[in-house]
């Protein structure tokens, strides 16, 4: 049976099917952007209510890009592109490679866009003059003697007709990567405090299944910068890969510039400033400095400088995603100092015995 007579082939090669699947994929992508993905069920209940949270789970809206129906849409769209390309390629190739000088001469006079020029020159002279004019305009001509005259032909961008095939192939490559990644890859996350390391991540499933990495990833430093308005500008993490006890790779990662190692890609996803804090203190008189882990509501001592301090209150995040911390600071002389400092910013404290600069770095 010919393809033109095959209803299944016609369905799979139709532009309507392409538009329908593309439209549904676009709507699904919008939904997946609005609804946070791979969050605990309790968060959906708090945000949308129990009934909507249950509906989201039934429709796989909470893990949309790995759902069976989203992958099925990708497969259907991919099949549509393949069949459409196969169906249209012979005609496109014929237009690219056809011998245009074999066209019926009588057809030239019936073309919608045409101009008739008359000259008293002989045919060879008129042909040479016309070729010179076309050549000066950037047109390369071919010619053939036909029906007692000379037929000239020139065209530009014949091979651009294959551009649609290139577009189809590029979309298929992207979809193939998405489908292969969804079926055979995995996604997970882990929170690494500064100075700490991990040899595993945890999947986005209800059990938070641990996945061993086969090496250690250590966060040497985390830094956040802000715009003048207070909005976060950039998150930067200094990561080091440790394998068999040796540091084998280091990378400073920011958004859209991840670390690649061992076939895995590590992105800077988020930060959390209230679980594991770090504070750097510098004595501006002596130049001595030290960095301390500073869990909230716990006294931290710096015996070498006779300094005690602690985080006694945490506020945030505010509408800009900003945290701030209330610091208690004492050098053992007089009443302790209490002040607020924002995440990533610093404060200067003047005491009777010293002048110190305290910078909260994460």
What is the per-residue pLDDT for 189?
82
Q: Using one digit for the tens of pLDDT, what is the confidence trace for 109-122?
A: 788 888 888 888 88
d(CA 199, CA 276): 19
User: Does the structure show a pLDDT above 80 at 225?
Assistant: no
d(CA 68, CA 304): 61
What is the per-residue pLDDT for 359?
47
Q: Using one digit for the tens of pLDDT, what is the confidence trace for 133-173?
A: 888 888 888 888 887 788 888 888 888 888 888 988 998 99
Pairwise pLDDT comparison (357 vs 239), residue with the higher score: 239
Per-residue DSSP letters for 135-169?
A: HHTTPPEEEEEETTEEEEEE-S-GGGGGHHHHHHH
Inter-residue contact 346 to 357 (CB < 8 Å)? yes
d(CA 143, CA 37): 63
d(CA 163, CA 157): 10
What is the per-residue pLDDT for 23?
93
User: Does the structure show a pLDDT above 80 at 353?
Assistant: no
Q: Among 63, 13, 15, which residue's Cα sits nearest to residue 37? A: 63
What is the per-residue pLDDT for 146?
80
Q: Among 138, 146, 142, 145, which residue's Cα sits nearest to residue 106? A: 146
Per-residue DSSP letters for 13-82?
A: T-HHHHHHHHHHHHHHHHHHHHSPSS--HHHHHHHH-HHHHHHHHHTTGGGGGGSHHHHHHHHHHHHHHH
- pTM of this prediction exceeds 0.75: no
What is the per-residue pLDDT for 311?
85
Q: Is 66 exposed, middle or buried (0-12, 13-18, 19+ CB in 10 A)?
A: middle
Pairwise pLDDT comparison (68 vs 225), residue with the higher score: 68
User: Does the structure show a pLDDT above 80 at 97?
Assistant: yes
What mean pLDDT is reported for the chain?
A: 83
Mean pLDDT of 69-95: 90
Q: Is 16 exposed, middle or buried (0-12, 13-18, 19+ CB in 10 A)?
A: exposed
Could you identify the residue written with the tokens 């209230």? 274
What is the per-residue pLDDT for 307?
87
Mean pLDDT of 340-344: 82
Q: What distances in angstroms separate CA 264 from CA 158, 175, 202, one per listed residue?
A: 43, 19, 14
Cα 259-261-266 angle, rounded to 5 deg? 40
What is the per-residue pLDDT for 356?
52
d(CA 110, CA 346): 81
What is the per-residue pLDDT for 19?
92
What is the per-residue pLDDT for 361?
42
Mean pLDDT of 200-205: 81
């Amino acid at each position: 049976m010919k393809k033109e007579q095959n209803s299944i082939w016609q369905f799979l090669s139709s532009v309507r099917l392409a538009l329908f699947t593309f439209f549904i994929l676009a709507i699904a992508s919008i939904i997946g952007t609005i609804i946070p993905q791979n969050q605990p069920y309790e968060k959906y209940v708090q945000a949308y209510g129990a009934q909507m949270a249950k509906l989201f789970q039934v429709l796989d809206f909470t893990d949309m890009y790995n759902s069976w129906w989203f992958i099925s849409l990708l497969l259907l769209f991919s099949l549509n592109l393949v069949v459409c390309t196969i169906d249209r390629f012979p005609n496109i190739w014929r237009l690219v490679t056809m011998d245009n000088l074999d066209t019926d001469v009588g057809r030239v006079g019936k073309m919608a866009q045409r101009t008739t020029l008359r000259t008293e020159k002989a045919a060879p002279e008129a042909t040479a003059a016309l070729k010179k004019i076309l050549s000066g305009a950037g047109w390369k001509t071919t010619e053939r003697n036909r029906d007692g005259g000379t037929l000239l032909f020139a065209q530009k961008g014949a091979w651009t007709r294959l551009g649609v095939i290139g577009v189809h192939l590029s979309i298929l490559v992207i979809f193939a990567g998405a489908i292969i990644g969804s079926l055979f890859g995995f996604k997970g996350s882990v929170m690494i405090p500064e100075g700490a390391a991990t040899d595993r991540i945890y999947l986005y499933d209800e059990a938070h299944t641990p996945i061993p990495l086969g090496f250690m990833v250590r966060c040497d430093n985390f830094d956040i910068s802000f715009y003048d308005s207070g909005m976060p500008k950039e998150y930067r993490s200094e990561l080091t890969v440790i394998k068999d006890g040796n540091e084998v790779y280091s990378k400073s990662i920011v958004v859209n510039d991840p670390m690649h190692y061992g076939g895995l890609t590590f992105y800077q996803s988020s930060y959390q400033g209230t679980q594991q804090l770090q504070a750097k203190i510098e004595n501006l008189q002596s130049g001595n400095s030290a960095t301390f882990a500073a869990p909230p509501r716990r006294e931290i001592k710096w015996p070498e400088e006779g300094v005690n301090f602690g985080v006694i209150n945490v506020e945030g995040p505010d509408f800009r995603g900003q945290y701030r911390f209330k610091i208690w600071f004492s050098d053992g002389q007089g009443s302790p100092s209490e002040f607020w400092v924002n995440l990533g910013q610093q404060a200067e404290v003047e005491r009777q015995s010293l002048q110190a600069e305290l910078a909260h770095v994460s």
